[in-house]
Structure 1
């Protein structure tokens, strides 16, 4: 099934390519009928084959949801089934046929409601976020390992003896700073010379405080390796050591954080890009929803949107007594198209739509129902005289907007009003007859049913 349909001026294949490029699995659930449709990508995420075996009921689906995620899956499924949700967004794990678990981000929105406001239809997209979750787990594990290394590791160890004013660097620390292993003794100022000029004042002040207070302290700073001029990011943990034979000394552990910082920056950039991508997808979803309910040329509601509105206005098929239906049809539109071409014809249609929008500000809905046909619904309480006045205002305004090379576009309008016994179909039929009556009168007039 084509889940995208005719959603805009671009071909369906265009939107299919957009959804495919985003790696989204599309699903469509008609709550009132129980009918469900899924895209090919939706199946691929789960390791399923379209048309092949898959869970048929919610309970069968719960059997393959990870036990830790079952509560949230049941919660949102219940909300959707009972029509109590307009939007859902949650993450869960589902077992594939090969036994592997796939992490899924599920996002959905109601696109249909009944008279009581309950959702009757949901559409949504599923995203495979397994790789992202794996990265999060790996980062958590790495953080734990790093914490252990900070506590007991012997990486990049140095020791300074205050009594003898001597310093010792181990082999790994020399490698970090780009110094030869056989450089002995170390120049007294080798450390200060290696610190990045922008960080030197901060590091020296912090070091002086630590030595005077005798408390442990941390340092984060940059060095410029003497052997190649490369900038590295260093983290240091310094502790006071009491050693009777040697006197007061300080011991520190350094480790090179450059790669971690770069990865962190890359992750931040990836996160920013992911957030931007999600934002763009959100905009695309909103645009798709708008396009599915509006005429691309005029921006007015389309037939689909009109049907949805009427189903909410008239749950029993009968509009409220006194509701007005104004059916507009462009006079001699084919002649304009034939004489000036479709581009001018489109401009004329846009002008008529503008006239409708500007003069029928109190209309509940204005829809383009055909190539040159429009319908406006006026709330109950507006009498025939006022509706005739409104129709004539549109006729006059459309005429003033649509003059082209001596040719002016006019519209005819048929007006009908619902009574206590009439159905939507009845009132539309009456309005249609009235509109043709206006045509027989020469057009550019408003006729009553």
Structure 2
């Protein structure tokens, strides 16, 4: 209570007696000196005298609070308390009380006060009681206020930075150490101790603890690096493994640097951080990277393999047509720029199909591989060799000289490919036909050049095979015409433009109708009626001969039935059959579907079909023909292909003597002997003999005398459409007077021979 009264007395300004004043001049000097000192120190002086009831505030004190020097400070305690920061107000009241009471802990205290411009300033208050009354109550308190706002801001900033540093170190799990190299001591912070698992353990010598914690496999390297760093006073960054106190293995990254402290002592400061997870992640990433790179290499190898497969023939490993097209475009562009000549050799293997058909596809594959090797050996390293399908190859060359080199190259290829190849005990022989086309200049067209080589190849094959031909414009025109005719032929099959014509056959002695041969004709919308000589080769190339044969057979059977309805029944209908149709595995099924009456149909086989080398399919079809009651005739007999043995094996019903042997009968005794020999052979084998090409009555007479069985030719009847056959037979136009007389003469001769034999 007494103290409160004393404070109240101070605030109410009660005046107390003062000591006698010192000398005025001395006082002024002393006051001036202290004023200068106080102003220079930035201290704001305040003096509360309860005896005199006065309160003094220096200009610096006012300046701290934003007051002007002339501005009065009334010293109202309650109003002053309102200027204090709300968080500091209770503390200040208590601090003042303790300061007045002489508590040394509150001789100096800090608080915040509102500046005149509205901001808060930090003030450091230093004060003490300097006078007391006789009862011991404080009556005068003097002190200084200092603006410590800048210091508090610096402290706050330092504290903030310290907090951030501690947080960063905690987050990054960095432990810090400092070593005094002169004293040989080292200090670790708590984070570093925890990192090594040493927290809470009895005090140890940290340098020894660190060495002992090093992983045995990393210890020598790590200590050696540290030693080198210490010798050269050079900072160090290294990574090593440790075994913690709890036995866990961790990976530590350490960085250190040298410095001299204020006393000149040589020190080393450093940081360690646990990078186990980082290293594990890095190792995992490295493994993933290695795996990805390995997979990429595998994918690249797979891509290259796929691209190789896409651009190469799987059998011969040669580039394929797709690769050829790419290289063809590249080299043609290069030749257009350089002026060089681009040449193409289009190669087709001759007699390759026979090897495939007789020895099997494995033999054919072996021959294709052999051909690929031969081609690679026969060309230059800069030439491009490709297999474009089947037994076809292409060689692409760039030349700057005459075509002679191309001709030599083609001849060398043909010569090497013609050599026999041994395969499983067989000597395989095949050859090659080559078409060559070359072009240069800015108008060079690669695709047209390839087509020109194909045209030249066609010429080489048509000229007898196993040879080479150069492209010419005449050949191109021929090929274009043939191509057009091929297209028209396919259209003609769709439009039923192929029709049968018929040529009557006659008994040689009576000139009675013995049968009808069915002949194919093409009723061309532009060129008129075409015989097989105009279209057979193209039909063979298109592989439609069998289709034409089948169509003519069906039409022939239908026409025969129509003739029968008009009263003409032909004893026999003969049709031609091609070698391809004879080798058709489905021929028997197709013939059975036609429900052919046995004995009315005969198939004419060209003697050019090699009867001695018939494969199993041909022999099977021949057996089925006999079962169906279809006779077999050998057409064009006498050209030297059929042997007596093959005739015995085949047992044909009829032989047809080739027209070339018949043509010169009236003029050649030798031809008559030859024909008589053929007739005798037929009679001895119980085979009928028909003569083709009977062009005159001399032929009729001579062949009758020679004992020929049947005749066919223009002298008796020309080929004619189906509708004309019945009328022609009814009119018997072939029975002219000389023909009748000859027929009677032939009958008499036969009767005389018969009587003599009796």
Partner residue in 2 for 1:228 = 247
Q: Is the contact between residue 225 and residue 232 of structure 1 (CA under 8 Å) also seen in structure 2?
A: no
Change (3 A) 1:363 1:223: closer
The residue correspondences of 1:255-294 to structure 2 (distance < 5 A) are 255-294=273-312
Equivalent of 2:465, from 440, 443, 447?
Answer: 443
1:346 is aligned to 2:365: yes
Distance in 2, Cα, partners of 1:381 & 1:211: 76
The residue correspondences of 1:311-390 to structure 2 (distance < 5 A) are 311-312=329-330, 324-361=343-380, 364-390=383-409
Deviations 1:90-130 (A, max 9, x none): xxxxxxxxxxxxxxxxxxxxxxxxxxxxxxxxxxxxxxxxx
How far the C-alpha of 1:441 sits from its partner, in A, is: 5.2
Change (3 A) 1:328 1:177: same
Residue segments in structure 2 that go unaligned for 5+ positions in a row? 1-163, 472-758
Q: Is the contact between residue 177 and residue 194 of structure 1 (CA under 8 Å) also seen in structure 2?
A: yes
Distance in 2, Cα, partners of 1:432 & 1:370: 13
Distance in 2, Cα, partners of 1:419 & 1:161: 88
1:295 is aligned to 2:303: no
Distance in 2, Cα, partners of 1:252 & 1:274: 38
How far the C-alpha of 1:194 sits from its partner, in A, is: 1.7
Aligned to 2:418, what secondary structure does the other structure show? Answer: helix
Q: Is the contact between residue 403 and residue 409 of structure 1 (CA under 8 Å) also seen in structure 2?
A: no
Q: Is the contact between residue 241 and residue 251 of structure 1 (CA under 8 Å) also seen in structure 2?
A: no
Deviations 1:289-309 (A, max 9, x none): 444443333333332333344
Question: Bigger radius of gyration, 1 or 2?
Answer: 2
Change (3 A) 1:241 1:219: farther
Distance in 1, Cα, partners of 2:183 & 2:343: 101
Q: Is the contact between residue 216 and residue 240 of structure 1 (CA under 8 Å) also seen in structure 2?
A: no
The residue correspondences of 1:99-248 to structure 2 (distance < 5 A) are 155-159=174-178, 168-179=187-198, 181-187=199-205, 189-197=208-216, 199-200=218-219, 218=237, 220-228=239-247, 230=249, 232-237=251-256, 242=261
Distance in 2, Cα, partners of 1:416 & 1:225: 84
Change (3 A) 1:173 1:337: same
Deviations 1:389-446 (A, max 9, x none): 3222112222347432122232222334559999666655554454344435553333
How far the C-alpha of 1:372 sits from its partner, in A, is: 0.9
Aligned to 1:403, what secondary structure does the other structure show? Answer: strand
Q: Is the contact between residue 332 and residue 444 of structure 2 (CA under 8 Å) also seen in structure 1?
A: no
- Greater helix proportion: 2
Change (3 A) 1:160 1:344: same
Calculate the aligned-residue CA RMSD, in Å.
4.6
Change (3 A) 1:381 1:238: closer
Aligned to 1:235, what secondary structure does the other structure show? Answer: strand
Aligned to 1:366, what secondary structure does the other structure show? Answer: strand
1:412 is aligned to 2:433: yes
Aligned to 2:422, what secondary structure does the other structure show? Answer: coil
Aligned to 1:172, what secondary structure does the other structure show? Answer: helix
Q: Is the contact between residue 224 and residue 232 of structure 1 (CA under 8 Å) also seen in structure 2?
A: no
Taking structure 1 as the reference length, the TM-score comes to: 0.52
Distance in 1, Cα, partners of 2:468 & 2:348: 11
Q: How many residues align?
A: 301
How far the C-alpha of 1:240 sits from its partner, in A, is: 5.5
Q: Is the contact between residue 433 and residue 457 of structure 2 (CA under 8 Å) also seen in structure 1?
A: yes
Q: Is the contact between residue 210 and residue 217 of structure 1 (CA under 8 Å) also seen in structure 2?
A: yes
Change (3 A) 1:167 1:433: closer
Distance in 2, Cα, partners of 1:321 & 1:393: 23
Distance in 2, Cα, partners of 1:318 & 1:251: 75
How far the C-alpha of 1:249 sits from its partner, in A, is: 7.0
Change (3 A) 1:176 1:335: same
Aligned to 2:246, what secondary structure does the other structure show? Answer: coil
Distance in 2, Cα, partners of 1:307 & 1:376: 12
How far the C-alpha of 1:348 sits from its partner, in A, is: 1.4
Change (3 A) 1:401 1:367: farther
Change (3 A) 1:384 1:195: closer
Deviations 1:150-191 (A, max 9, x none): 799783234556798765544433332233x32122256323
How far the C-alpha of 1:257 sits from its partner, in A, is: 2.3
Change (3 A) 1:237 1:440: same
How far the C-alpha of 1:329 sits from its partner, in A, is: 0.7
Taking structure 2 as the reference length, the TM-score comes to: 0.33
